[in-house]
Every structure is written in C-alpha cells, then in structure tokens.
Structure 1
C-alpha cells in the first residue's frame, strides 16, 4: 500500500473516531440533561459527589433549601459550603458509605430561616462494573412539617387526655353499637368503675336499665340527625333517680359520616334538689311576707274604750278581704268592742264580689253584737254597694272618719247611760 493510501485510511479512521466521540459526547450530554432535569423535579434534596467527596450534581430543591447556587456548590466539598458543626454530622454517614459500600440512613439537621429543619437522608454508593466506588449519592427528605405536625398532635392529645382524665364531667363516646370508645375518669367513677372497666363494653352492661335506655335513645337520635343535642334528663338510677344536663354531639371521620357520638354529661341532681328546696323556702318566705304586709296594710286603731277604727287603703282582693275579716273579728272578740269604724277613704274602687264579702264581715260583727260604721265611701264604691241584693239598712254610714268617730262615741255614751239607768232601776 502506497504512503498516500495509508494516510487516507488513517484519516478516515480518525474521522470515524471523531464522529463516535462526538456521538458519545452528545449522548453523555443527553444523559446529563436527563439526569439533571429528573432530579430537579423531585421535591427532596438530591446531590452527587465523586469518590473524593467533591460535588458534581445538586438539584433545585437543594438550592432552594440551602440558599446556595450550583456555582457555589459544584466542585466543592461539604466543608467548603457548610459550617463545621453541620458538615461534621454529614461525614458520619459519608464514611459509612465509603467503608461499607452500602446505603446508609440517618437523620440530619439543617438550619433554616424559620428554625432547624429535620431531614431523613439516604446516602448510597455509586459503583463501577468492577464494584469500585466512583461516586456518592444522597437523597434527603425534609420531615420538618411532619415532625412539627406530630408534635402539635401529640401536644393536643396530651391536653385532651388531661381534660378527659381531670375534668369533673362525665365525658364519653359510643359507637353505632352503643359500645364505649372513650371514657373519662369521672364518667367511670359515676358508675363505680375505672375507665379500663368501661372501655369496650356496651351501654346496657354499664348503666342501670332506665338510664341505659335513655342514653341509647338519645344517641340514636344524634346518629339519625347528625346534629348536636342538648337536654336535661331525669333517669331512673338504682332505686331513685338522677338528673343529668347532657350535651351529645356527632363525631365525624374523614368521609363525613357519623362514626360515634360524644357525650358530656353533668350530674345536676343535687343542684336541682337544692333549687327545688330554695324555691319552696322562697315561697314560704313570700307567703310570710305577704301575710305581714297584709297585717300592716290593715291597721286596727283603738279610738276609745269599745271603739275600733280600721282605715282601709289600696286595692282589696279576695285574699286581703279574708285577711281583714279574720284579723278584725279576732280583735273585736279580744277587745269586746261595741263599734267598729271601717273607713274606705283610701279605697277608690272595688269589685262587687269583694264588696259583698265585706258586707258578710259586717253581718258577722252584728252577730257578735258589734255595730259597723262605714265612712269615706267613694262614688264608685257607693254605686257598687247600691247594686247588691243584700239589704243595707242594717249598716250605719257616715260621710267621713271624723263623723264616724263622733257617731261611735255617741253610741258608747248612750250604751253606758242605758247601763247606768238599768243598774239604778234594779236597786
């Protein structure tokens, strides 16, 4: 083969080699773009380092969370981009990967603007065909939101547990089969048990018969309506009864269906009994006060020996009229009065039945030998008295209290004179 032919052959081979190299470079670039695009769309931190620990790849999430650009990271080591206390913690897993050539998992902390973030990191070796380490990879997932949510949930559960354990209320929940799924210490104490004795049991196994039926009926109503129910129940309880102020409410799961019914019940038996006793005592006090007021509003004034005046003021109803009659007849008997003046100046109007009852009192006094004198009659009262069927001729009427007193004193003098004449005639 001539020298020119050999040169031509070598040139052709070189050209073919350059094409293959160019194709391989294009393929490598394609693989690089494929790798970078893929890891950029993962919401976890992803990075690759070569066997010496130099960063070769990071994704967008890495940049976003560390606030470090690719230019600041690629070609550098951990110690070049992180504080010492951070990268020293990273090296624990890195050494494990290099020494064991196996994937290693650890939790790592990375400071952020809103505080320290928790990451679960998977660090793995990248090996060649001969099993030699050529790179180290890492995938780190930010668990901060999850950890914080778990911490909040745990704190909430602790608070709820403390409430359930210490609240002086019966707090419980039952499912659709009337089985207890939550029981507070107070709820268990009211039936003489512990929460452990009640949980998992059905309502009829725990409550007295009447109370169990009442609870199951109201629970069924909440299941049907899906609405909160507030009521006060009086239920049979061990030969007696108890009164409970009860709040029952639906407990819904993710699907929105009612899975259980929660109950907060307060035993108000003693309170209601105390209220009932208070009302009874209050009624007695009111009756006593009313009696005292009636007595005060019906003063009986001795005018002279044998003469009493009763000035009536204000409205007179049936009860007050009975009080007037009782007090007056009692005093008449005790004092042996001969004349009683009923002054109606302070009474503007009165119903016919009350006037009739007042006239019966007057007739009762006449039967005791007492003369009744009415004074200060208003036109309205006079009209009412005129309409009555009872005869009025036996009643002495004077215009004013002064006239009535004058009449009464005259009658007393006449009686005394008559008595003296009678006594003189006897001797």
Structure 2
C-alpha cells in the first residue's frame, strides 16, 4: 500500500510538473504569437523541399493566409523566376549550417512586395525563414538612382539649368549655367534678378506669371561677370511644393550667341550669293556677240537705267579696246520704256565708242521708241540707226562703198 501511495504521489508531482511545463509552453507560445502579431516580419518554417511546416500571422501575413499555408509550397507566393533561387538558399543553408540571405518578390493581397529574408537551419531537415518587407527601400533606392541619373544628365547638359526659391534665390545651378554667368560656384545664392535682365518686362512680373500659369518662355539677357550680356532663350517652370517643400522655379537657358552668329553668317553668305547672281545677270543682260572681224553686237533687254547703261558702256568699251572692233551694233529691240535717261545713256555710249575710233549702229528702234526720241528731241545725227537688228548687221557687214551709197540714199529720201 505504501508503495502504491508513493507511486501515486510521484505521478501527481510529475503531472503537476508537466502541467506547469505545459502552462509555461502555452505562455511562451502566446507570447511568441503576440510578438509575431505585432511584427512586420514574415516568419515561417520550411522543410528542405520548400514546403511550409509552420507560419505565424504577422502585420504583413494575415491569419487567413496562415490557416491555408501549412503544407503548401513556396511557389504559391514567390514569383516564378525566383522559386529556384529560394529553394537553392534552403538547401545550401542546411548543407553548410549557415545563415543565408536573399531578396525576392512575393504577391500578397494582389500586391507585389519585395522581401529580404534570412534563412537559418532549425533542424536537420527544416529552416527558420524570417523576412521583412523592403519594398519601400527598393523604391527609394530606385528613385535615388533615377535622381542620380537625372542629376548627372542635367549637370552635363549644354544648356544652363538652375533652380531658385519662390523669392528668386538660386540654390542649384549646373556647370553650364555657372560657366554662362561667369560666377562659377558663386552663382549659388545669387538672385535671378541679379542675372536676368529684360528692359520691356521686369523679371518680377515674368516670375509671377510663371507661378500663375505654370510656365513661361521668352528671350532674356544674362548678365555675366565680365560685364557682357548673353542673349538666351529661357524656359521657366513653376514647381509646386510637395511633402512640406516650398514652391520653386526651374529655368533652362540656351545661349543664342552661336545661333545668331550662324544667322549672320547665313545672311552674309546669302548676300554674297545674291551679289554673284546679280553679277551673272548683269553679265548676261549685256552680252557682247562678235559677228565678224571688227564687228560686234550688244543686244539689250529690259529697262536701261543709269547703272545698267554704265555697265553696258564699260563692257562695250572694254571689248572695243581689247578686240579692236571698228563697228558696234547696239540693239534696243528688247528695251522697254525708253525715256530721257535711256536716250541720254545711248548718246553717251555712242560718244564714248566714237572716242575709241569705233562707230555705233543703233538697231531695233520701233515706232514707240522713235516717237519717244522725237518727243525728247534727241540728236541722233552722229548715230547710224536701223529698225531691225538684221538690217543693222547687213549694214555693218557690207563693203564700205555700199555703206556710203546706202547712207546717201537715206539722206536723199529724207
């Protein structure tokens, strides 16, 4: 009986100890679950094949997902292109008995998150997997990388870029803008009104309109440190203050000097082309056509103003001297509106040719031209005239006795 009583007492003590142990374990389990419930981590146990043995609900793992997670493979949440990498981490962690880390994307509640996880061997065939959401950090890192790329692009841009506060104080300027102002790093802290000048419209009004409308474009002068003013095509953009930041103003300035220099060069080249074309036209408008030895013809077309008459005289006289012409035929068939200036020009050409020992034959005088010459009382006694170029050429090429007979016949008929 005594032995039975002792056995019962020992069993009772053992049961009591077991109950205390169970209570302790239940308390620890409750604490663990409470700790997990307020944790922002992903906590689970996987076997070596990537099957979920246990998962705890946390701030990022809903209880409903935990209830359906046991026995499921990590393929249910991990993105397909990362499944093999996660499985390899589990196998390597168990093989080397070391803690390994990995970042991978998962889809939870129709959202894609990035998880940074640590994989720690727990038993010979299972691992503890603790991960945390690093989506925001990745987005921040990506945004920072984009910002660095954008800043590198702006810093190396050929146009001058600066940013200023709403009051116009410059707090950023790329290298091109610092070079354009000539102030270098001293550009920072200066005001836009210290650099940009616009006589017709004060800069303050331009800035105000930019903030009202969102943007502004126009031409401004940029004062330089050496006293010069750089003509610039300026674009201004108002930047609304976000996340507690005050409004700002971004400006992009393009130096118009190369463009204006190129325009001046283009205009100069255009003027040269025009002058060359005019010279060619003048050359074509007063051609010398040799007809025979000592005989040349110059047909004139269009208006005969003083400049063209001077050109015709110079070219005809040069030809007479150079080629020893004794007879020059000046055909005015194509000359329109013969007036006093044109008639005087013809007389001057005839007198100049005579001084060089050549005779001038005037052809192509039609009824209107003849009437004009009569009305102007132009003396053509010293000039041989013919109504057509053909008759004038025949006269010039005829033997001299024949020409004298023709002249006598004309005088008799008159």
The two structures have a TM-score, normalised by structure 2, of 0.59
Count of equivalent residues: 322
CA displacement at 1:336 relative to structure 2: 7.4
2:39 and 2:58 in contact (8 A); partners too: no
SS of corresponding position for 1:253: coil
Whole-angstrom CA distance in 1 between matches of 2:246 and 2:56: 51
Choose which of 297, 308, 328 in structure 1 pairs with 2:296: 308
1:230 and 1:248 in contact (8 A); partners too: yes
CA displacement at 1:338 relative to structure 2: 5.6
Given the alignment of the two structures, is residue 112 of structure 1 paired with residue 106 of structure 2, yes or no?
yes
Given the alignment of the two structures, is residue 404 of structure 1 paired with residue 392 of structure 2, yes or no?
yes
Residue segments in structure 1 that go unaligned for 5+ positions in a row: 1-34, 90-106, 122-138, 418-427
Once the two structures are superposed, residues 182-230 of structure 1 have per-residue CA deviations (whole angstroms, 9 ceiling, x without a partner) of: 20012112333444x322232466x4xxx55669934641431425333
Whole-angstrom CA distance in 1 between matches of 2:220 and 2:209: 20
Question: Within 5 A, what are the aligned runs for 1:112-191?
Answer: 112=106, 117-118=114-115, 142-144=133-135, 146-191=136-181
Whole-angstrom CA distance in 2 between matches of 1:141 and 1:310: 100
Tell me which residue corresponds to 1:199: 188
Choose which of 231, 244, 254 in structure 1 pairs with 2:218: 231
Q: Which runs of 4+ in 1 moved over 6 A?
A: 42-49, 54-57, 81-84, 86-89, 333-336, 414-417
Whole-angstrom CA distance in 2 between matches of 1:278 and 1:343: 40
Tell me which residue corresponds to 2:239: 251
Given the alignment of the two structures, is residue 70 of structure 1 paired with residue 67 of structure 2, yes or no?
yes
SS of corresponding position for 1:178: coil
Choose which of 373, 376, 386 in structure 2 pairs with 1:390: 376
Tell me which residue corresponds to 2:345: 361
Tell me which residue corresponds to 2:265: 277
CA displacement at 1:371 relative to structure 2: 5.2
CA displacement at 1:180 relative to structure 2: 0.4
Given the alignment of the two structures, is residue 286 of structure 1 paired with residue 274 of structure 2, yes or no?
yes
CA displacement at 1:85 relative to structure 2: 5.1
Residue segments in structure 2 that go unaligned for 5+ positions in a row: 1-32, 46-52, 78-85, 94-100, 119-129, 406-414
The two structures have a TM-score, normalised by structure 1, of 0.57
2:40 and 2:59 in contact (8 A); partners too: no
1:246 and 1:263 in contact (8 A); partners too: yes
Once the two structures are superposed, residues 297-334 of structure 1 have per-residue CA deviations (whole angstroms, 9 ceiling, x without a partner) of: 42223445664310235x44745455334433554577
1:188 and 1:194 in contact (8 A); partners too: yes
Whole-angstrom CA distance in 1 between matches of 2:233 and 2:193: 20
SS of corresponding position for 1:62: coil
Q: RMSD value over aligned CA atoms?
A: 5.1
Given the alignment of the two structures, is residue 221 of structure 1 paired with residue 198 of structure 2, yes or no?
no
